[in-house]
Every structure is written in C-alpha cells, then in structure tokens.
Structure 1
Amino acid sequence: MHIGGIYFSLLMPLSAGATTVITDIWDPQAVVPFLVDAKITYLGGGPAFQFGVLDALKQQSRHFAELRIVRSGSTTIPQLLVTQVAETYGVSLGVMWGMTEGVCSFTRPDDPPGWATVSVGRPGPGTETDLRADHPISDARPARLYVRGGSLCLATLGRDDGQLTELSDWYDTGDLAVPDGRGGIRLLGRAVDRIGSTFMIPVNDVESALLEHAEVQDVALVGYPDGHGGELACAVVVPRADAPALRDLRDHLTGQGMTEWYLPSRLELFTALPRNEGGKVRKDLLRQWLEDGQARW
C-alpha cells in the first residue's frame, strides 16, 4: 500500500515503457550482483536501502555501468548519503517526500548541487502546502506542515479501531517544516520525534554529522526527559570496530560548529537500530527503551 512502491515500481515504468527490477528479499550482498547484471539505469529507495547498496558495491568492488538517476525518499536525508551517491555514481541524489494518504514534493534537475540536504523539493502539480505556526518560522521553531490536493485520499480508516475519518480540506501531515527559499519545503522531522521545547534540536543535522564520525556506523538521536520538565538528546549508536565515547561524539559535533544545546548528553550502544519495513528507524521503540529499559524489537 505504500505510495512510493506503487508509483516507482509499477506506474512510472509502465508509463515510460521501462522494465522494473524487483527482488523478493532484502540482502544487499545478494541483491547488488543481481542489479549489476540487470544494468539498472534508475535506483530508488529509502536511505537505509541506499546505504546498504553503497556498502555492498564497495565490498564487492562492483559498479553500475549505466546508472543515471538515484532517488531517495524520507522525512530527512543524511548529508553522508548525498555525498556518497555523488562520489560513487557521479550523479546528484534526488529526493522526494510523500505520504500513502497522497500528495508529494520532489527535487528537480535544476536545483543546486546537494539540494537534497536542505530540501525535499517543491510540490507536484495540483498539490498545495501550508506552513502553520503562531510564531516566526525558523529552523529552531519550525511550522506544522499541512497539505491538500487532487491526490489526497478522501478518508482514512483506523486499522485498530475501524474509525472512518473524512478529509475534506487541509490535511495535517504531522511533519515540521520551514520554507527552502525556492518554493519548496525543508522538513525537520516528525512532530512526535522532535527534541526540545520552545526551541528544537535540528535532529537530522546532528545525525548527519554523527554519521561522519569514524566510529559510527548508524545512529539515531532520541529525546528523553531530563527530570525537570525538559528534554535532552540521547545518541543511540551502532558502532563500527571501536565504540565511541560520549565525549568523542560531543567534541566531533562541537568541531563542526554546533552549539552546546544541540549536543547529546547520553550515549547508548546497539548492534542494530529497529526499523520498519520501509527502512525508517522506529524511534518510538527507542524512546520506550530509554524510559523503561525494555527492548521491544
């Protein structure tokens, strides 16, 4: 039911007269030879899948000889992915944001290089976005993103409670965003995943910087109560050969010019992060673990 799979695996190839290459399992080491042999020209997938392909290509010393377009989709895109796509494939990473409920925005070929790090692009035809806030909008104080358009579904049906909710006008996406300066939007995360109170920590910027640390293989920044009605940031890290110390991570971020209140005050190490079928980190599970110490994955 995910809209990305329907669009890019079925509708787009059919409309372009192209062939879709699909694998029924996700094992990057096994999938990469299959994709190389298929001579793919377009590669789409969320950040976790793109990183998996890049790592497998490097380990197997393979490359995609005819690849021309690489596109990813998520609320936020790590800077490291944008850099590695450009270095490995020689093309700029394109990104899109969308919802199964409908509507989408996407970057264009005329956007500046590296634009995927600061924007999910402009809405498609027939789609409108509205940023709502009762304060001046900034990265520290983003707005709530509302959308409407011809592709928005007419209603949603609760999976567990069976409740039907009609969508008659603007739809609250649950995302936090700011204008990107080119008629599009820069997403700063989900409202439920925000860290901070009046001012929020730019979670994607911090995670992107931490991914550049030599001892960090994967990372998620998650909020936890400070015991005084506020909230602090915890870095949940999957380490490489050597595990980093919290001080190392804080020094790394400070060296990139980040202010004190962006820095994590807690570090937890895991062998893997919990992800859903779309490759997105289940931060709700991580928050629960930080609260009660019980892993649910």
Structure 2
Amino acid sequence: MSQLTGFTPWPEQDAQRYRELGYWTGETLGAMLQRKAGEHPDRIAIVCGKRRWSYAELDAKADQLAAGFARLGIGAQDRVVVQLPNVAEFFSVCFGLFRLGALPVFALPAHRRAEISHFCRFADAKAYVIADLDGGFDYRTLAREVQAEVPTLRHVVVAGEAAEFTALADLHDTPIELAGPSAGGVAFLQLSGGSTGLPKLIPRTHDDYLYSVRASAEICGLDQDAVYLCALPVAHNFPLSSPGTLGVLHAGGRIVLARRPSPDEVFPLIGTEGVTITALVPPLAMVWLDSARQRRPELKTLKLLQVGGAKFGAEVACRVLPELGCRLQQVFGMAEGLVNYTRPEDSDELLHHTQGRAISPHDEVRVVDDEDRDLPDGELGHLLTRGPYTIRGYYLADEHNARAFTTDGYYRTGDLVRRLPSGHLTVEGRAKDQINRGGDKVAAEEVENHLLAHPAVHDAALVAMPDAYLGERSCAFIVTRGDPLRPVELMRFLRERGVAQYKIPDRIEFVTEFPKTGVGKVNKRALRERIAELIAATD
C-alpha cells in the first residue's frame, strides 16, 4: 500500500535500525486488539457506565464497524474526524477505522466550529463522528454548521439519536474481508498543541505508536490486573498512550471511562471498580488532593497517579503519597512523540522536582542555545529530540516543517528545559507563543486572529498570566479603533465564531498601544510582566 501523501517518513536506515532493535514489530493497532481478544476473550476490556464490554465484544464491534464504514464508501487512508467524549464507542469506532486502514483525526469534545471545520477541510475528511449530546451541548447542531462550511464532508455519524444523520448503531454490519493497513503506514492524525494558528496534524504510524505504548506499559508496570481510570478526554495523547487506554489494552487490563473528572464522579468509580492507575493534569490533581482528606477510603486500590500535561509544582507533588496514598509519576510528553517518565526507583528529589527521563535508550535528546549549540547539563536551553516514535514532519506542512525540524531530523519541541546528568528533564517554560492553560494548549496567534476580526479591534496580543490553579490563564491586551468596547462583547463575539471555550481569554485589558521590542515587534514579555504585576497588586 502506498504511503499517505503529506507524510514525512523516517530515513530508511533509521527505520531499519528500529526494526532490528525490536522497537517496530510490524503489528498494527487493529491486529494488537485482535491478538489480545484471542488470548483472553472474556476479560472485561471497557467499563462505560453500566456497560461492560469484553475483549471479544470490542473486537467484534470493531470488525462490524469496519464493514459499516466501508459501506459508506470509506476506505484506506480516508480521513475521518472523530469527536467523541469518554464513551466506549470511541474505541469501537477507532479500531474499526484502524482495521479498514482509514485514519481517525482525533478532535476533542471542547472543539467548536472554527476548529472542526478546519480539521474537516484541511484533512479532506469524508466523515465526522460525534455524540448526540454531551455536557448539555448538541453536537448535531455543530455538525450542521460544519457541513455548511465544508460541503465536501459527506457523512456525519452519530453515537446516539442521529436526527437526519447516520446512526452509529446502524453501521454494525457483517464483517468483511479486509486487506488491512501496513504497520509502517499512518494509523491516525493527532492534533498539535500549536503555537501558531490552528492546530497542525500529527501523523503517527502503527509501528511507532505501538512501540511507545508497549514501552510505556512496561515502565508503568501494567499487567492483566491493571484497572485504568480514564478521566481526561480520551483522545488526548496522554490518556491514550502514556500508557493510557491503549497501554491497558496491550497489557490485557481494564479501562474505566469517566465522563467528568470531578471527585464526586470518579472517587466512587475508583472504589467500586478497584482502579489501580489514572492520569491527571496538575489543576485536577490539586482538586483531588483537596477532596481526598474526607474520602480517602474510596482510593484504597489506587496505586499510581500520573500527572502531566503541564509542570507539576514540587510543593504539590510531595503531597500525593501522604494525602492520596498512592505513588506519583510525573509525565512529560507531546503528541509529536517524545515521552518522559519518572521511575519507581527515582529519589524523592527527582520525583518531585523533575518531569522524568525519556522512554527509550534510542531517544536522542539535545538541549541547545539559540544557535543550536549543545549546552552542558544543568543549563537552560531549547529541547530538541528525535527517535523511534517522534515524527519527522507534520502532515501537509512543508513550510512549517522547515522551521519545526532541523535539517538532520530533530524536532524543535518549543520547550525550555534543564537536563540532569541522569537524563531527567526539568521543564522551565515554553519558547513558543503558547499558553498552557492547565494542560489545554492555547495558540496565541489563533485567538489573536479571531479577535482581530472584530470591527472595533485594531490590534490584539494574547499572553499568559500566572494562575495558582491552572498554572497559566490567558489575558488579551486590546487596542481598539476608538469605539468603546466591553470585554463581554468580545467574549460573546468569540463564542459566536465557534471558538472553543478554553481558548476564550480569561481576562481582557484595553490599552492605547503595545510595548515594542528594539526591532518593532510586540513585546509580549513586557505584557506578561504587566499583567503579573496587576494580579499581584490585587491579591
């Protein structure tokens, strides 16, 4: 089968080396599930509310949906935008598409018209898979808006009441013979955290992703007794593969899905299902810590709490074991590839103050200065990486790839880090123009472009402001055209443009002009300092 247009492969000599090392085994994601279903068909794979799917049931549903999607005319390498909450259907849909060789494009429940229309248009998606309702939001209304903007989108498939669209339940057909994809081919497209414009698409192959999944499962000690609570959005790279739900399926364990991550919803699940491992972003971990004092007995089976997505402060990290009664594991990774973990044998100093070290002995990690010169351990610099599961290019993004990757294939992550002699990394911040809002990445340029569309806005600059709960929130500095404008009007304007709620500025400040750098650029550092001072003055 030919490789996907717009995909940058690893150099052949590197690919061959990864195969010889046993990292790339030639198994596809669909074949992995099939193998596990054969080994223990009756074991419970997924718990979703009152539903309990065995491995055999999940495997069968994947085969049936592969046939159903094929009936819609979806085939190998066709793109399908998948926007589902934490429901069992996420897995049957994705594995059905994997079996077919079609490529899921993983959208998040929080995305709205601006993002989804972009994904469907840019990826030339043939289908869009949604829930009917979730959290009070009707995704069918969103689908109508997207179809109006992207007339090439042929099918909308709905898990639940479909209205005028195709019901997912009606796609469970008699399984058919399928050629299946190549393990070296692209399996799906994930979303970048992106610091410029709308998210870019990240092509991950079966071979590279499954290596990351298997190695992560081993590092985290997963086995058939593992019970993983998926409380973060299931399509996020962190709960999907680090080791996440796919790591649990590889180990033969059980996934417990939670629609919301609040202690009131998940603490009872941990107790009744015997959850042993889960993953959170720092703000949620702090909420759990505050709630655990009165509800510690519900957490008695929890052995490992992973925290990632943003830096976890050492003063909070040290509370996990005494207050939650489980081990902490810090995780620092990216959908583009590189994942770092603290290890069980790490000292408290490493566990609380670092974000771990890389999965693989063949992860090549560099810390460099502004001129790409390697820095000694302990010096603050830009993180570059390449390896057996780090992409060599974004999908259909030649111009951006020339900036995001070095000529010899290192990915410029945009992170500022210090490396210890042990290989552990301490993340100090971002070089890219991006706000990390409790694990949700907000590209400043994207939001600024939306703000500039308002007729009363002359210029806009979005910066991070410190927040004790989320780590960072966003503040938009606005220069108006002279017309009076209220923050509530701008926020309503962004919502009407279909911008995801987490991207809407948390604070808006009106100014007459922006501070400038020596070369005339907006001095965002000065703006960040200004908003930090304003916050400090009101505390």
Q: Structure 1 length as normaliser, TM-score?
A: 0.62
Which residue pairs with 2:239 in the alignment?
A: 5
Deviation at 1:222, TM superposition (A): 7.6
Measured in 2, the distance between the counterparts of 1:226 and 1:139 equals: 37
Residues 320, 326 of structure 2: 8 Å contact kept = yes
Which residue pairs with 1:240 in the alignment?
A: none
Measured in 2, the distance between the counterparts of 1:235 and 1:78 equals: 23
| AA at the equivalent of 1:184 | H
Measured in 1, the distance between the counterparts of 2:392 and 2:515 equals: 43
| Aligned with 2:366 (options 130, 133, 157) | 130
1:104 paired with 2:356, answer no
| Aligned with 1:37 (options 267, 272, 291) | 272
- C-alpha change, 1:171 and 1:71, in structure 2 (3 Å) is same
Residues 394, 401 of structure 2: 8 Å contact kept = yes
| Aligned with 2:412 (options 139, 164, 172) | 172
Which residue pairs with 1:153 in the alignment?
A: 391
| AA at the equivalent of 2:422 | R
Larger CA deviation: 59-68 vs 137-146 = 137-146
- C-alpha change, 1:235 and 1:139, in structure 2 (3 Å) is farther
* Unaligned residue ranges in structure 2 (runs of 5+): 1-189, 191-235, 435-465, 478-512, 518-524
| AA at the equivalent of 2:239 | G
Deviation at 1:43, TM superposition (A): 2.1
Residues 139, 188 of structure 1: 8 Å contact kept = no
1:70 paired with 2:305, answer yes
Alignment of 1:80-119 (within 5 A): 80-119=315-354
Deviation at 1:9, TM superposition (A): 3.1
Residues 331, 340 of structure 2: 8 Å contact kept = yes
- C-alpha change, 1:123 and 1:170, in structure 2 (3 Å) is same
Larger CA deviation: 24-33 vs 118-127 = 24-33
Corresponding pairs, count:
224
Measured in 1, the distance between the counterparts of 2:273 and 2:255 equals: 10
Measured in 2, the distance between the counterparts of 1:108 and 1:119 equals: 11
Which residue pairs with 1:249 in the alignment?
A: none
Q: Percent identity?
A: 20
| AA at the equivalent of 1:3 | N
| AA at the equivalent of 1:231 | A
| Aligned with 1:142 (options 350, 363, 380) | 380
- Root-mean-square deviation (CA), in Å? 3.9
- C-alpha change, 1:89 and 1:28, in structure 2 (3 Å) is closer
Deviation at 1:220, TM superposition (A): 3.3
Measured in 2, the distance between the counterparts of 1:154 and 1:136 equals: 20
Larger radius of gyration: 2
Residues 96, 120 of structure 1: 8 Å contact kept = yes
Measured in 2, the distance between the counterparts of 1:218 and 1:103 equals: 23
Deviation at 1:147, TM superposition (A): 0.5
Residues 61-80 of structure 1: per-residue CA shift (max 9 Å, x gap) = 64411221111113411223
Measured in 2, the distance between the counterparts of 1:21 and 1:269 equals: 44
Deviation at 1:92, TM superposition (A): 3.8
- C-alpha change, 1:48 and 1:32, in structure 2 (3 Å) is same
Q: Helix, strand or coil: the match of 1:77? A: coil
Measured in 1, the distance between the counterparts of 2:340 and 2:420 equals: 12
Which residue pairs with 1:79 in the alignment?
A: 314
Measured in 2, the distance between the counterparts of 1:52 and 1:70 equals: 13
Residues 221, 235 of structure 1: 8 Å contact kept = no
Which residue pairs with 2:526 in the alignment?
A: 231
- Which aligned runs of 4 or more in structure 1 are off by greater than 3 angstroms? 58-63, 134-141, 161-168, 217-230, 232-236
- C-alpha change, 1:103 and 1:21, in structure 2 (3 Å) is same
Q: Structure 2 length as normaliser, TM-score?
A: 0.36
| AA at the equivalent of 1:127 | D
Measured in 1, the distance between the counterparts of 2:526 and 2:273 equals: 49
Residues 112-163 of structure 1: per-residue CA shift (max 9 Å, x gap) = 11423322222111311111115895999721100101111243136xx897
| Aligned with 2:472 (options 220, 226, 234) | 220
Measured in 1, the distance between the counterparts of 2:401 and 2:414 equals: 16
Which residue pairs with 2:533 in the alignment?
A: 265
Q: Helix, strand or coil: the match of 1:20? A: strand
Measured in 2, the distance between the counterparts of 1:193 and 1:164 equals: 15
Which residue pairs with 1:274 in the alignment?
A: none
| AA at the equivalent of 1:149 | G
* Unaligned residue ranges in structure 1 (runs of 5+): 195-206, 212-216, 237-263, 271-297
Measured in 1, the distance between the counterparts of 2:400 and 2:535 equals: 42
| AA at the equivalent of 1:51 | M
Deviation at 1:81, TM superposition (A): 2.8
- C-alpha change, 1:191 and 1:234, in structure 2 (3 Å) is same
Larger CA deviation: 141-150 vs 109-118 = 109-118
